[in-house]
Amino acid sequence: METKQQINFCISCSLPGNGNYCSNCGQTFTPKRLTTKGMIHDVFHFFTHLDKGSPYTIKKLITTPGKMQREYVEGSRNKHQKPFSMFFLSATIAALSLYWFNMILIKYYNAGETSEAAFFHQY
């Protein structure tokens, strides 16, 4: 008796294939459901391993933000940085930039007084 395998189409690259994973890009044919447990795992994973999708995700968020987010929710997650990882990366970059900017203002523009530093910090 011959068993017939179901042909699946990859969400990421749209190529047909058999089994659980796309032979072209490695994306699962049936994406996992977004859960709280999965998000907590992503938070832990961020601190232990940074994925290669950060530059691609930043580029897509700048050029086509709504489309990128829709693709991620619909299951095309192979190319994108995980949401919590991207949030913490962006928040860290923003906080360090603000800190360095304030330090430059204080050092090079003589904002040594408290009121002057508060002005630079606020504006």
0.75 surpassed by pTM: no
* CA-closest candidate to residue 47, choices 92, 114, 15, 95: 92
Read off the pLDDT of residues 84-94 as tens digits, 9 standing for 90 and up. Answer: 778 888 888 89
pLDDT digits 0-9 by tens, 6-24 = 788 888 888 888 888 888 8
